Structure 1
Amino acid sequence: MEPTGRALVTGATSGIGAAFARRLAHEGYDLILVARDAERLASVAGVLRADTGRSVEVLASDVGTPEGCDAVAARLGDVDLLVNNAGFSLGRTFLESSVAAEEELLRVNVHAVMRLTLAALPGMVHRGHGGIVNVSSVAGFASMQPGSTYPATKAWVTNFSESIAGAVAHLGVRVTALCPGYTRTEFHARAGIDMSRTPDWMWLDADAVVREGLRDLRRGRPVSVPGLRYKVVVWGVRHLPRRLIRRISRDVRGRIGRPSPGDRA
């Protein structure tokens, strides 16, 4: 994969998405940044242009809507690296949820990843190079959040990414599911999940997550789990008895509050 080119990052104004934007701009990529908040996008883009001298285009769009997803898909024809980072969790259990909230979760966490990956791949395959990072989660390796449908969406992202990676690797295109654990971002606060009881050792740094994810993409690894502690966690959820995993998950999940409807990154 070429060291520079054009990269598109969704959910680019905060957290892991913003860390991807910073890293890629410093590596020499020109950027297309996507998020819902136009004012915040403009601010992030201005800082990156000043710091790196790279071209930074902004696209204020909501990938949770058909129109927003189409607008982003239309910009992917000449993109060398796609980062599907936009995503969110619901700060309520399934029994407290609604059809509208669950469908929005699927549109952002699942449908947008599929739609944008499919839009980016033909150009990458035609050029014989390119990369796609689909931001998933350690939560997707097991039902680690009782009552939450978020892990199910991330299980789909990981499985989908592995499948597509195997289909396009011989064509010069690399696809990686980036599966971080708890990372210090706005993610949990936006979802109304109280993480105050989570021990410090469980938290990852967003810049470190991005660094390891890009390294694994370039090594051709279809799944990237940043941090030794979470590699151990993933080994555990894949091999320990399911009954034990369910018991542990009740202790490590943050407590759910009640955010306003539709509050997401």
Structure 2
Amino acid sequence: MTEQWKASKFELADNGVAIWTMTCPEIMNPLTDDLNSDFNTLVDRVQGNPDVRALIMAGEGRAFSAGGNVKGMVNRTFDAHASRNRLVSAHEWVERLYNMDCPVIAAVDGLAFGGGLSFCLLADFVMASPKARFCCVFGRIGLMPDLGVLYTLPRIVGMATAKELMYTARSFDADEAKDMGIVHSIYASADLMGAAESFAARLAKGSKAAMAITKRTVNGSYEMSYRDLVDAEANGQALMFTTDFHKEAVRRFVEKEPRLYDWDAMK
């Protein structure tokens, strides 16, 4: 079943894999008010939904997303207070997407510039085609990076490389992005979505609760002391011991039955 939203569409398969696609290819899927609204709809639709076990984000056309709507900035009257409030409001869905309670994959088959780079770095994994190109483009128009990339990019590529990408606003291809740790894997354009769906389907067979609490803890680990991290680990593990998934996995192990979640066997 496909749901058509303002500037995107949402599909959910029987295996629990959801695919959310930005559908404004003629303008390269920029962050318009409609798309901003759809991001809020997306996190509301997915977060806490037991039917969704993994999420893939994609964009139609030659761009995953070109980021901010630069043409719309020409005649806009900017007010510092209103601009600040708009970005603060956007971070309500940015933070929720970053800590989404299921694995999130960004399938990038074109440009991921500016906010588009920010979007894909909110995912757990970026899968790309050779047509993918990335750019922290904000500096080209005298802006600072936004939508969470100031947080995510240094944690992926390191402080010095993040500064270089932000200061120069240069673009880079999928191979360089993979070398930096931004891209998880590269596939031909024709194979990209199939590979993303296969990867998501395998992840969907695991314990959603265990992945969710692991993700949230790892995402916040740079801000934690060792003691805080140990406490988070102990609290989370105590909860996981009570889950039906854990109990069934242990039962199968003891009874020498096929594993409930076996990544290697799913190859």
TM-score, scaled to structure 1: 0.27
Structure possessing the higher relative contact order (Cα contacts under 8 Å, 6 or more residues apart) = 1
